[in-house]
Structure 1
Amino acid sequence: MFQLFSAYFPIVLLIYLMTKKNSLPSFRALPLSALVLYSLMLVVFERDPNQVHAVIVDGLLVAWTPILIIAGAIFLFRTMEATGALAIIRTGLNSISNNAIAQLMIVGWAFQFLIEGASGFGTPAALAGPVLVGLGFPAVRVAIFCLILNSVPVSFGAVGTPTWFGLSAVSLSELELAQVGIKSAWLNSIAALFIVLVALMFIVDRRKIMGNIVFIVLSVLCCVTPYVAIAYSSYEFPALLGGGIGLILTILLARWGIGLEKTPSDGRQIDDEAVDRATDAQNAPRVSVKALVKATFPLWGTVLLLIITRVPQLGIKPLLLLKEPVLSVGLGSLGDLSVSAALVVSLTNIFNTSESWSHSFLYVPSLLPFGVIALLTLQLFKDGSTRTVVKETVEQMKTPVVALLGALVFVNLMMMGGEQSAVALIGSHLAEITGSNWQFFAAFLGALGSFFSGSATISNLTFAGIQDSIALDLALNRTTILALQSAGGAMGNMVCINNIVAVASVLALGDKEGYILKRTAIAMLVYGVVIGVAGVVIFG
């Protein structure tokens, strides 16, 4: 019982520190919570100290994946600002429609949907957030909005990785895996009709939402209809193709004004500075197609490079993930370091344990596409501000580095021990107290996994086996429970500490992570209730 209390305590402490009245910023709350958890692992859980320290080293190294991704995203955003590309994009979007709802649905919904399908890794909010801020929406509300909507496509994000790889630890036939994909697509799509409205409520007033409700529903359907249809034949491309089709259709709907309120009023809740930016954008002259294509190169160039490097059929992805070492170095008790031709750096046998780490420099979206596209953008605009952009990026990364180092140590310690880990103990306890009503709560276990790990894929790898065992013990439909796990991992993306720190860092929001978490948690609860009920009613 004391171990169970000790499993819950670090989570409660972290949430309290980040959401209390005088909240601590994440770069203080996360390391402090990790330190408390470290003590509990040694004293209460009686873990082997050598193993604990190996897990900590692994966490410190794994943290550099989100750190480099965020740095790349900030570098790209700063490049778009310095070259004037962001200002041209702002003007271009206003020429399609200056309706706030239309802009939010194009960038925050459909564009994010597409990016998630291609990449994952928290990339969607990092790209969409700065564009929406440039359009005059307030940064904190943009962060909340983007995080909430970076959920529906996640079950099939990064070309379906959370499904085909995340569920690989469970013994499923091809037919059963296809059924899980189809069911999770339906659950996420049903939730989309509710969660988009919840997200919009955080950024525009309700009257504006009701005045444009037809457009909103049509935009949602433009993405989720092909998303569900494609899930019947593939679990790799629903989000990628659904987002691409939905983005084109949403832009056309906005251009033709279908379902949009026929008034000049603007319902966005913005401050004085944002009003000035929005007014400047609306008063700016129309840009030519050539200028708009050039200005949007950082966006479409990023999407194109992501697709080229993510779709296995194109043959580039396997080359970027080559792990055969071309250089190996022994680092004593620290482990064995190796580097492959594709710059996959690995450290194995950390402190002579089974702990290992690897980082694919050419596959993780930091150098490719963010770094490369940013440098090409500077060349395209013949801009000489590279040094300034680099300096601004480094300055903006100072606190996120500390926060993410603390976060990944915290995550690794919580997940240490397999079926006896703190996270597994919490999951088993939740299943025990809910009993036969588990279907209503299964998604929240998936969300818990994403909250810790920052990845729906890791959530599925961690909890799919537990979910499957619960389904068998309670005689529940296993594909339905696993679909709820997958959809839960997707909805957990909006409360994931890594993602919150990432988008707050890109938008330079300082210590607002706790404020954001409290809002996205509300949306996650709505999402969980909807798919829990839908899972029982539709799939039994």
Structure 2
Amino acid sequence: MALFLSIFPIVLLIWLMVKKNSMPSYIALPITAVLIYIIKIAYFGDDFMLLNATAASGLVSTLTPITVIFGAIMFNRMMETTGCIDIIRKWLATISPNPVAQLMIIGWAFAFMIEGASGFGTPAAIAAPILMSLGYNPLKVAIFTLVMNSVPVSFGAVGTPTWFGFAPLDLAQADILAIGRQTGIMHFFAGLVVPVIGLSFIVPWAEIKKNIAFVYISILACTIPYVALAMVNEEFPSLVAGAIGLMISVFAANHGWGLSKDHAKDPNAEKVPFAQVAKALAPLGMLIGMLVVTRIKQLGLKGMLTSSEPWFSFSLPGLSDITVTQSLTVVFANIFGEAVSEKYQTLYVPAWIPFVLTVWICIILYKTKFDDAWKFYVATFKQTQKPLLALMGALIMVKLMMVGGDGSMVKIIGTEFAAMVGDKWIYFSPYLGAIGAFFSGSNTVSNLTFGAIQQQIAIDTGLSVTLILALQSVGGAMGNMVCINNIIAVCSVLGVEKAEGAIIKKTVIPMAIYGVIAVVVALVLFM
């Protein structure tokens, strides 16, 4: 019964979102959160105030994704208002008018690099609007960018899912490197298949076949350095490999390598002056530069932006103890008198820095009129209202499902399924990681949530601990395709409404295939 009641709300949520007359996520998710709240009180017997405190912490945690979405939408509106997008569109056409080339450069290699720098769903938030501005269907762009943002995720945000996600397990550095190596190799083989599936959602198969040589030049330009770096380091594989892959992809497209002649460059096409291109790309350059310098801990800024050294604190009796750190991180502790806390890293979450800060700089740089700036501020606020409701529901739901330690709904799902399959667990391990990402919206949180379970199952069944944890990490990455938070974010940025269910129905297919590839590679190469 505990397993049934743990799974039922998720099944109901998916049904509500994918049925014929689907319910939008901003209604379905809050309904599911309320249902879970009732089940937790009525069946699991969890403490009333603990559940209230957990729900409140879910509201606080909503600040992270909603401010990222707000910043990304505002950035993209600024790019449209200032004419930067129009110039980038013309410039990309001079590199290659071929749609496959444009999709691989922006949706694969560029997004690969952004994931390596930041994570937090920013690759789709940045890449998707550029592709939409090039004339691609917004819904198809959403599906495409979600599928593409999978291979680099285990080493996204400078390797956070790997080195931080497994930190509670107290693994030796050699084991972390072993996990990274195995993770990188499984992603490499999945990367030979999944990007092609992603392309099939947005261009016809005939078009892909004609340009398949270029597709694999772009794929391998990212994945070869990716797997090579994963052999020796767990922080930089996605960031460095994405940068290398982006440069090679642009160079190859410019020279027509592997591209069909059906979309030959127009010799009479207007050449965009270099100064205009540089000025149009400046906001993206600032964005990437800020992401990189604030994420690489060796540069020192990351420590400043995440400092936990208290600046001042105060209490709201009966509500919470609030501490503001020197990095402007706001920590809400002892919410409603319970041992529940949540924080918002104001300067580190990629919202105010780099998105909003870049917008402010560009308003000055491009001498944007006050009326125009005010219009995209107002439009951004309006566009984030429904995603805010959806994310509140999603994060409260996730937080409630994690209440109860080993008796929580999330842990029950993981341990019960593991008990059913025993030593055949290797076939299911990545899908548990995907479930974690589906719930939480994060490969890192999935690893934090299920890493200990995966480790214990490996010990109990005699399987390799590092291999099972690598499958967990790969699963958390592939789960990004179906993660509710990411789907809401990319739909919000693109202005696509009531499409979450339709997207899940599409992205679950490549996610399932991804898991099969990971298991086959694990059995063939590591068993």
TM over 0.5: yes
Measure the CA separation in 2 of the matches of 1:265 and 1:481: 47
Aligned structure 1 segments of 4 or more residues deviating by more than 3 angstroms: 281-284
Counterpart of 2:344 (choices 359, 380, 388) is: 359
Q: Give 3-state SS (helix, strand or coil) of 2:261's partner.
A: coil
Q: What is the match of residue 482 of structure 2?
A: 495
Check whether the contact 1:484–1:531 (CA below 8 A) recurs between aligned residues.
Answer: yes
For each residue in 1:280-301, what CA deviation from the matched residue of structure 2 results, as whole angstroms up to 9, or x when unmatched?
x999722111111110122121
Check whether the contact 1:325–1:338 (CA below 8 A) recurs between aligned residues.
Answer: yes
Q: Give 3-state SS (helix, strand or coil) of 1:476's partner.
A: coil
Q: Give 3-state SS (helix, strand or coil) of 1:263's partner.
A: helix
With structure 2 as the length reference, what TM-score do the two structures score?
Answer: 0.98
Q: What is the match of residue 467 of structure 1?
A: 454
Alignment of 1:336-375 (within 5 A): 336-375=321-360
Residue 432 of structure 2 is aligned to residue 450 of structure 1? no
Measure the CA separation in 1 of the matches of 2:476 and 2:263: 40
Residue 279 of structure 2 is aligned to residue 294 of structure 1? yes
Residue 306 of structure 2 is aligned to residue 321 of structure 1? yes
Q: Give 3-state SS (helix, strand or coil) of 2:169's partner.
A: coil
Q: Structure 1 residue 354: deviation in Å?
A: 1.3
Which letter does structure 2 place at the counterpart of 1:59? G
Q: Structure 1 residue 416: deviation in Å?
A: 1.4
Q: What is the match of residue 67 of structure 1?
A: 66
Q: What is the match of residue 270 of structure 1?
A: none
Q: What is the match of residue 76 of structure 2?
A: 77
Which letter does structure 2 place at the counterpart of 1:185? G
Alignment of 1:205-244 (within 5 A): 205-244=204-243
Q: What is the match of residue 506 of structure 1?
A: 493
For each residue in 1:51-71, what CA deviation from the matched residue of structure 2 results, as whole angstroms up to 9, or x when unmatched?
111100000110111000000
Check whether the contact 1:118–1:158 (CA below 8 A) recurs between aligned residues.
Answer: yes
Structure 1 unaligned spans of 5+? 267-280
Counterpart of 2:507 (choices 520, 524, 530) is: 520
The change in CA–CA distance for 1:282 and 1:528 in structure 2 (over 3 A counts) is farther
Measure the CA separation in 1 of the matches of 2:283 and 2:505: 32
Q: Give 3-state SS (helix, strand or coil) of 2:318's partner.
A: helix
Measure the CA separation in 2 of the matches of 1:259 and 1:417: 55
With structure 1 as the length reference, what TM-score do the two structures score?
Answer: 0.96
Measure the CA separation in 2 of the matches of 1:396 and 1:418: 37
Bigger drift between 424-433 and 93-102 goes to 424-433
Q: Give 3-state SS (helix, strand or coil) of 1:358's partner.
A: strand
Residue 20 of structure 2 is aligned to residue 35 of structure 1? no
Check whether the contact 1:215–1:258 (CA below 8 A) recurs between aligned residues.
Answer: yes
Bigger drift between 529-538 and 64-73 goes to 529-538
Measure the CA separation in 1 of the matches of 2:520 and 2:19: 31
Measure the CA separation in 2 of the matches of 1:485 and 1:282: 50
Q: Structure 1 residue 456: deviation in Å?
A: 0.5
Residue 368 of structure 2 is aligned to residue 383 of structure 1? yes
Measure the CA separation in 2 of the matches of 1:296 and 1:536: 45
Q: Give 3-state SS (helix, strand or coil) of 1:155's partner.
A: helix
Check whether the contact 1:161–1:236 (CA below 8 A) recurs between aligned residues.
Answer: yes
Residue 156 of structure 2 is aligned to residue 157 of structure 1? yes
Which letter does structure 1 place at the counterpart of 2:318? S
Counterpart of 1:434 (choices 412, 418, 421) is: 421
Q: What is the match of residue 259 of structure 2?
A: 260
Measure the CA separation in 1 of the matches of 2:393 and 2:283: 31
Check whether the contact 2:109–2:249 (CA below 8 A) recurs between aligned residues.
Answer: yes
For each residue in 1:28-69, what CA deviation from the matched residue of structure 2 results, as whole angstroms up to 9, or x when unmatched?
000000010110000111101111111000001101110000
Check whether the contact 2:84–2:281 (CA below 8 A) recurs between aligned residues.
Answer: yes
Q: What is the match of residue 19 of structure 1?
A: 18
Q: Give 3-state SS (helix, strand or coil) of 2:125's partner.
A: helix
Measure the CA separation in 2 of the matches of 1:77 and 1:504: 14
For each residue in 1:79-135, what CA deviation from the matched residue of structure 2 results, as whole angstroms up to 9, or x when unmatched?
001111011111111110000000000000000000000000000000000000011
Residue 290 of structure 2 is aligned to residue 305 of structure 1? yes
Q: Give 3-state SS (helix, strand or coil) of 2:348's partner.
A: coil
For each residue in 1:324-355, what CA deviation from the matched residue of structure 2 results, as whole angstroms up to 9, or x when unmatched?
22221111111101112211101101112111
Q: Structure 1 residue 197: deviation in Å?
A: 0.9
How many pairs does the alignment contain?
525
Check whether the contact 1:170–1:464 (CA below 8 A) recurs between aligned residues.
Answer: yes
Say what the alpha-carbon RMSD is for the aligned residues: 1.3
Task: State the percentage of identical aligned residues.
Answer: 47
Q: Give 3-state SS (helix, strand or coil) of 1:338's partner.
A: strand
For each residue in 1:269-312, what CA deviation from the matched residue of structure 2 results, as whole angstroms up to 9, or x when unmatched?
xxxxxxxxxxxx99972211111111012212111110011101
The change in CA–CA distance for 1:418 and 1:249 in structure 2 (over 3 A counts) is same
Check whether the contact 2:96–2:264 (CA below 8 A) recurs between aligned residues.
Answer: no
Check whether the contact 1:440–1:536 (CA below 8 A) recurs between aligned residues.
Answer: no
Measure the CA separation in 1 of the matches of 2:523 and 2:353: 42
Check whether the contact 1:91–1:284 (CA below 8 A) recurs between aligned residues.
Answer: no
Measure the CA separation in 2 of the matches of 1:133 and 1:297: 20
Check whether the contact 1:94–1:282 (CA below 8 A) recurs between aligned residues.
Answer: no
Counterpart of 1:397 (choices 355, 370, 384) is: 384
